[in-house]
Structure 1
Amino acid sequence: MMPRALERAEGPWAWVVLLATVVTQGLTLGFPTCIGIFFTQLQRDFQASNSETSWFPSIQLAVLHAGGPLCSILVGRFGCRATVMLGGLLASLGMVTGSFSRTLSQLYVTAGLITGLGMCFSFLSSITMLGYYFTRRQALANALASVGVSLGIMLWPLLSRYLLEELGWRGTFLIFGGVFLHCCVCGAVLRPVATTVAPETREGPPPPSKTPAPGCLAACGRSIQSHLAFDILRHNASYRVVTLGMVWMILGFPLPHIFLVPYAMQHGVEEHRAALLMSIIGFSNIFLRPLAGLVAGRQDFTGHRKYLFSLAVLLNGLTNLVCTASADFRLLVGYCLVYSVSMSGIGALIFQVVMDTVPMDQFSRALGLLTVLESISILISPPMAGFLLDASNNNFTYVFYMSSFFLISAALYMGGSFCALRKKERQARRAAAEAAITEAAPERDLSPEGTDGPSKRLCPEIMYVTSV
């Protein structure tokens, strides 16, 4: 008899898990978009340069992605429910202690490192659990879950702007610590999934060897290999293209989220209207992401989602060039609407593309390696943009040029590589079919003419199917 704590995939409780994942994504992935609201005040209070202040969001975003392997270990040891709740506690602790920071270095460790790690645990664990609850409607579930990011992008800037005016950034961070505790509530509803797949048989422990036990370095190497998909990266060409393309893309993707508000304020846009720009992006994504998920979930696009993803990245890069032309508020509103279309496509497809590239039982490892590599790009991207601002006397145009360059080049690389891999796969299939026909031809020549017995006709057919 199945324990009551277990639930079956695609059952009624799957929609509760989906709702919890929506809230978790809104709390975690949606939060970094409001950092730009605090950028100017943090820079003024700590008397820091653009590059120094940029390290705060870059550390938070980098840890949010780099904690994937550690999250995978915790999920394997304690399960998704406990890991999501632990993430909520860490994110809350980081924001509360960050509100008492006296230097930027302290802010890096508290609201940057600790909060980023907590958001990583909650976000990745909820996504992993969602992949087990939804199998047939996986693309739709991922798109609906990403609506949480849209809600977060819409609500976090508005809440940040209001609290910043009333309480200052220290009081705001203290309130945010309480908000992140809601991740613990979301984690509590993530019941384990009852699977019908037979457990994998394992061989007994190997006999003791006479050689000395491996050292700590070798043990760490085995642990890293078991939780990071380096073997998949080496042997799976499609996953290799996805990983390299996304790592290059991330060098430009987060920059508008951080620098759009300071850019608008520098050109005379009022502070509350500048914060409204990020809310416009979030509000638009609420409707666009489910639509993108419905389109991507159609049977017609089953083998073509990676091309849709490349197209969305290309559109995102081209859209950023609008900000290099003018900073008029009406033009920026139009930019946000068009930007939302491409962003919704990226958000709805980014995890589905990885799921389509690797088997589901390897998804956690593949996503862990991808997020670790992405964290390197995230760590250096905002400081690079900050250094560019310091060197160009706060000319934000160069930041948007930089963002467009990385996004457009990544889109062209992924789209061209996917086409090349598809052509190579077709050629391999054609060569295999021709080889099978060649192997079957001698068997037909050896059969006597005029023999129409069923056994004589069946033998060449069996050889053909076996060869294929």
Structure 2
Amino acid sequence: MPQALERADGSWAWVVLLASMVAQGLTLGFPTCIGIFFTELQHEFQASNSETSWFPSILIAMLHAGGPLCSILVGRFGCRATVMLGGMLASLGMVASSFCRTLSQLYLAAGFVTGLGLCFSFQSTITVLGFYFIRRRALANALASVGVSLGITLWPLLARYLLEELGWRGTFLIFGGVFLHCCVCGAILRPVATGMVPKTRKGPSPPSKTPAPGCLAACGWAILRHLAFDILWHNAGYRVFTLGVTWMILGFPLPHVFLVPFAMRHGVDEHKAAMLISIIGFSNIFLRPMAGLVAGRPDCASSRKYLFTLAVLLNGLTNLVCTVSANFRVLVGYCLVYSVSMSVVGALFFQVLMDVVPMDRFSRALGLCTILESISILISPPMAGFVLDNTDNNFSYVFYMSSFFLISSALFMGGSFCALQKKERQGAQAEGEAGVTEASPEAAPERALTTEGIHTSEKRLYTEVMYVTSV
């Protein structure tokens, strides 16, 4: 390798952290400005709300669904090459979308290609922080999340200005150049001495009489290896979290897409409407790192999943404000309260997943979770657009729908986590009573007879501990 390998937790790690902040601001912060173009695209293509909503839903769905493919590319080529590839794909998609003449072309260019590129750049920068930071990993993740908040703040303001000056086609062309900065961020990601590029694991060689698997079988084996269907089946805590989050995502992204059109329809100035999203992003700059640092404390480990559930519940209840009033001052207050719950949800998502899944299976569990999320994201905005088309553009029904999915998912996860914790306590109590019974004087001679009984007892105890941990 021509360049020197970098040391984990060294001085270059902070440069990598800065590059990760910029890349996350460019990628994960970008979908929040899509709502600014909603009305413009609807008039340009003479499309309904449902048809126009497919554009942001495809883009955000690809941002999540490309996770398993991104992990394969990182394992084969490393984080640096994957981030740069993502920047080029995102740029190519936005440049091509500026020449689109139909919505279907826009779905393919700005939705599929750009969304996949954003996924490669975003998830690779998340991965690389785990290699560069060991002792300060929680601090690094909290600081990196500031980049997302900055992106949420700046993208709507930039989009509103460029849309007035250049139109949506010229704006998308400029965005294509902006996304090339992801390539610069990727070039900074030097290899780490501890092994930045994970080695690909080779599967067992087939028997000599067995023919080599075909293309479909190889693809199926790769999908099963990178997705956690076995964890979903055996781990009750992961099953509750994944199903709850998948249901939650049906309502979570709707305010980001429809808040600006909702405010403009009720007479709010275009600049003030775009400023609402920026208020959410600006608040997240301070709230998201604070939430991440508090959630990372060891004494919060047992209550993290309940804090996450409460944040989802608050997020759903907050959306009901938009069904009551569309006054600009009321919407500013809504954005401030919404940003609190949004910050806690974003900060605790990965922490809760790490609590319910062993770390050696975390990447596979995250891959399956993002795949299921992408399905919800894909259908959520078009479903809301269909509601708008059939209710004479009554946005209240959209926020009612968002609140329903969020509140019901919070109640499901909170009740299920309580039930699992109660079951775990009962199992621990039964184990303790069994230990007392085995430690009684009557059981002592019988336990000392053979070493086989000792091994059997140890094996049973180990199995019970593993069961409780998986739950």
66-75 vs 250-259, greater mean Cα deviation: 66-75
What is the CA–CA distance in structure 2 between the aligned matches of 1:255 and 1:396, rounded to whole Å? 11
Aligned-pair distance for 1:434? 1.9
Q: Which residue of 2 aligns with 1:450?
A: none
Secondary structure, aligned partner of 1:58: helix
Once the two structures are superposed, what CA deviation does each residue of 1:24-82 show, in whole Å capped at 9, x if it has no partner? 11111110110110000100011111001000001101111111111111111101111
1:438–1:93 distance in 2 versus 1, CA, 3 Å: same
CA contact (8 A) 2:56 2:381 kept: yes
What are the Cα deviations for residues 397-444 of structure 1, in whole angstroms up to 9, with x where unaligned? 000000011111111111111121112122222222222222232566
Q: CA deviation at 1:143?
A: 2.4
Contact 2:280 2:336 in 1 (8 A): yes
User: Contact conserved, 2:153 with 2:277, CA < 8 A, in 1?
Assistant: yes
Residues 445 and 185 (structure 1), Cα distance of their counterparts in 2 relative to 1, 3 Å cut: closer
Q: Does the 8 A contact of 2:76 with 2:200 survive in 1?
A: no
Q: Over residues 195-240 of structure 1, what are the superposed CA-to-partner deviations in whole Å (9 max), with x where a residue is unaligned?
A: 399x999899546332333333222211101111112212222221
2:458, 2:234 → 1: CA distance? 27
Partner residue, 2:51: 52
Residue number in structure 2 paired with 1:325: 324
Question: 2:392 maps to which residue?
Answer: 393
| Contact 2:28/2:148 (<8 A) preserved | yes
Q: Which residue of 2 aligns with 1:118?
A: 117
Q: Are the structure 2 counterparts of residues 342 and 105 from structure 1 closer, same or farther at C-alpha, using a change threshold of 3 Å?
A: same
The answer as to whether partners of 2:292 and 2:348 remain within 8 angstroms in 1 is yes
Distance 1:126 1:399 in 2: 34
The secondary structure found in structure 1 opposite 2:440 is helix
Q: Measure the CA separation in 1 of the matches of 2:156 and 2:200.
A: 50
C-alpha separation between the residues in 2 aligned to 1:186 and 1:219? 33
1:188 to 2:187 alignment: yes
> Does the C-alpha gap of structure 1 residues 217 and 426 become closer, same or farther in structure 2, counting only changes over 3 Å?
same
Residues 8, 303 of structure 1: CA spacing in aligned structure 2 closer, same or farther, 3 A cutoff? farther
Deviation track 1:230-276 (CA, whole Å, cap 9, x = no partner) reads: 12212222221211111111100000000000000000001111001
Partner letter of residue 269 of structure 2?
A: E
2:31 is the alignment partner of 1:32: yes
Matched, 1:436 2:449: no
3-state SS, counterpart of residue 304 of structure 1:
helix
The answer to whether the 8 A contact 2:388-2:394 is kept is yes
Q: Which amino acid aligns with 1:161?
A: R
Q: Counterpart amino acid of 2:143?
A: L
Structural RMSD (CA): 2.6
Indicate whether 1:101 and 2:109 are aligned. no
TM-score normalised per structure 1: 0.91
2:439 partner SS: helix
1:359 Cα deviation (Å)?
A: 3.1
Return the offset for 1:368: 1.3
TM-score normalised to structure 2 length:
0.91
Query: Which residue in 1 is equivalent to 2:465?
Result: none
Output the CA distance in 2 between the equivalents of 1:219 and 1:445.
55
Assess if the C-alpha contact under 8 Å between 1:137 and 1:297 holds in 2: no
The residue type paired with residue 311 of structure 2 is: A
**Alpha carbons of structure 1 residues 443 and 4: separation in structure 2 relative to 1, 3 Å:** farther
CA distance in 1, matches of 2:363, 2:174: 32
- Residue 206 and residue 213 in structure 1: after superposition, are their counterparts in 2 closer, same or farther (change >3 A)? closer
How many pairs align?
456
Native 8 Å contact 1:143 1:349 kept in 2: no
1:436 and 1:464 in contact (8 A); partners too:
no
How much has 1:127 moved relative to structure 2?
0.9
Give the Cα separation in 1 of the matches to 2:174 and 2:201: 49
Structure 2 stretches of 5 or more lacking a match? 462-471
Amino acid at match of 2:376: S
Identity %: 78
Q: 1:80-95 to 2 correspondence within 5 Å?
A: 80-95=79-94
**Any idea what SS the aligned residue of 1:7 has?**
coil
Distance of aligned partners of 1:181 and 1:202 in 2 relative to their CA distance in 1, 3 Å threshold: closer
Return the alpha-carbon distance in structure 2 between the equivalents of residues 373 and 115 of structure 1: 20
Match of 1:245 in 2: 244
Change (3 A) 1:294 1:203: closer
Query: Partners of 2:269 and 2:144 in 1: how far apart?
Result: 33
Per the alignment, do residues 126 and 200 of structure 1 end up closer, same or farther by CA in structure 2, a change over 3 Å counting? closer
Which residue of structure 2 lines up, in the alignment, with residue 160 of structure 1? 159
2:36 is equivalent to residue 41 of structure 1: no
